Amino acid sequence: MNESFDPPAVDSPFSAIAAGALHSCAVTVTARVYCWGWNRDGELGEGSRTDRHLPVRALGVVGFGSVSAGAGHTCAVAATGQPFCWGFNLSGQLGDSSFSGQPTPVAVAGALTLMTLDAGGAFTCGIASDSAPWCWGWGAHGQLGDGARTDRRSPVAVLGGAKLTALSAGIQHACAIAADSTAWCWGANDLGQLGDGSTTDTTQPAPVTGARKFIAVTAGYSHTCALESAGDIYCWGDNSLGQLGDTLVAQASTPRLVVGGLTFLSVSAGAAHTCGVTAAGSAYCWGSDASGQLGSPAVSLCTSAAGSQPCTRKPTLVVGGLSFQSVSGGTQHSCGLTSGAGNAIAYCWGLNDHGQLGDGTNRNSTSPVRVGKQEGT
């Protein structure tokens, strides 16, 4: 760790935050993107390939409206709707028609105008201004949804012609909410993460069993969760570490209700854990707690193919008494943004070996720590 590194302070409060595999990013109310953590492939966007333990600004003059942190790359949508990506690009996940990594933002090829996008493991998906879905990058498991298993260096249309309102890219699968509020998924399905009642991969969108109506969806490594308008969360896929919030099954190929009777406003799936924010602004997490990513003490030990690790199988309150507007799950860390328009504060917790908590150290934390260099820090 470079203790002498002292970047300029964040220029204004954050408005959104995203936890990736080993890095984190946030966008400010002034439309600038800041990132921190692992930077081997330039995923922080500031021109170097050196890990940063405090927020650094992604280069360029583009004003960004949103940001998404993937496994080794980052993408953002400009205020104009133009998508940009940076970082690792071995599978074409930057969408710039190349396989070359970039340590600063580059424009996605084509003339797409996007409403939103999500950076997954080694691929990216977005929803265009006409509500049509597009994906690019790694396609070996059909996660691009174009009917093939081929990597794509530039955006390809997802098959089916559906109009979407929400979309999430996981590690090897993607899921979306259609205009009629039904959920659809495609890609890898070895643990039931597509929710279609099978464990068979698909290269184009398949409907999630049950025809439930959802307003949001989030894809983790091998599980998926979705939020109903009434505040219930349903999850499906791998549950070996409790990430479905269901205490009865090891995995599920159809949606299962998260236990606890809480009313949620948002949900975010990490690698093997899930977090949500309730109507009261409280953050709850469940699943794997190998590095403190739940933000509360684990209550049991779970065993998966990767071995045994601490876990909690039902939603548990994140400690610290903070009121959150959003929480984002990464691989083994989580980040959240506190409530308050124009004065929100970013906090992170869990694994911090590459500085992904942004507090200036590389010490793990089992409770939320304030990201450094924000106004007032």
CA distance 63 to 279: 31
Question: Tell me: the pLDDT tens digits for 144-183?
Answer: 999 999 999 999 999 999 999 999 999 999 999 999 999 9
Q: Is the pLDDT of residue 61 over 80?
A: no
- Tell me which amino acid residue 174 is: A
CA distance 373 to 9: 5
**pLDDT confidence bin for 377, thresholds 50/70/90:** low
Check if the beta carbon of residue 237 is closer than 8 Å to that of residue 251. yes
**Three-class SS state of 196:** coil
Q: Is the pLDDT of residue 303 over 80?
A: yes
Question: Tell me: the pLDDT tens digits for 146-156?
Answer: 999 999 999 99
CA distance 105 to 90: 16
pLDDT (mean) for 192-201: 98
> Residue 76 burial (CB < 10 Å; 0-12/13-18/19+)?
buried
| Partners of residue 316 on adjacent β-strands | 285
- Tell me which amino acid residue 209 is: T
Mean pLDDT value across the chain: 96
- Tell me which amino acid residue 299 is: V
Residue 13 vs residues 34, 337, 371, 375: alpha-carbon distances, Å: 11, 10, 12, 7
CA distance 316 to 313: 9
Domain of residue 141, CATH code: 2.130.10.30
Question: Tell me: the pLDDT tens digits for 260-298?
Answer: 999 999 999 999 999 999 999 999 999 999 999 999 999
What backbone torsions phi and psi does residue 107 show, to the nearest 5 degrees? -70, 140
Number of domains, the chain: 1
Neighbouring C-beta atoms of residue 172, cutoff 10 Å:
24
Check if the beta carbon of residue 37 is closer than 8 Å to that of residue 51. yes
For residue 58, being part of any structural domain is answered with yes
- Residue 376's pLDDT is what? 58
**pLDDT confidence bin for 3, thresholds 50/70/90:** low
| Partners of residue 134 on adjacent β-strands | 126, 157
For residue 8, being part of any structural domain is answered with no
For residue 375, being part of any structural domain is answered with no
For residue 1, being part of any structural domain is answered with no
Q: How far apart are the first and last CA of the chain?
A: 21
Question: Tell me: the pLDDT tens digits for 90-100?
Answer: 999 999 999 99
For residue 377, being part of any structural domain is answered with no
Q: Is the pLDDT of residue 84 over 70?
A: yes
- Residue 243's pLDDT is what? 98
Question: Which pair of structure tokens corresponds to residue 168?
Answer: 């999430």
Q: Is the pLDDT of residue 1 over 60?
A: no
For residue 2, being part of any structural domain is answered with no
Question: Which pair of structure tokens corresponds to residue 143?
Answer: 């996660």
Check if the beta carbon of residue 117 is closer than 8 Å to that of residue 68. yes
In this structure, what DSSP letter does residue 5 have? -
Parent domain of 195 = 14-370
Residue 285 vs residues 116, 262, 311, 316, 370: alpha-carbon distances, Å: 25, 12, 10, 6, 18
Question: Which pair of structure tokens corresponds to residue 264?
Answer: 């949620």
Q: What share of the chain is helix, strand, coil (3-state, %, to 5)?
A: 0, 45, 55
Contacts for 77 with CB less than 8 Å, ≥ 6 apart: 64, 65, 66, 83, 84, 114, 115, 116, 117, 126
Question: Tell me: the pLDDT tens digits for 336-358?
Answer: 999 987 789 999 999 999 999 99
For residue 211, being part of any structural domain is answered with yes
- Residue 104's pLDDT is what? 98
Q: Which of 275, 369, 375 is nearest to 8 (CA)?
A: 375
CA distance 119 to 77: 11
> Residue 365 burial (CB < 10 Å; 0-12/13-18/19+)?
buried
Instruction: Quickly count helices (H) and strands (E) in the chain.
Output: 0, 29
Return the biggest CA–CA distance within the chain.
55
> Residue 339 burial (CB < 10 Å; 0-12/13-18/19+)?
middle
For residue 6, being part of any structural domain is answered with no
- Residue 307's pLDDT is what? 85
CA distance 160 to 237: 23
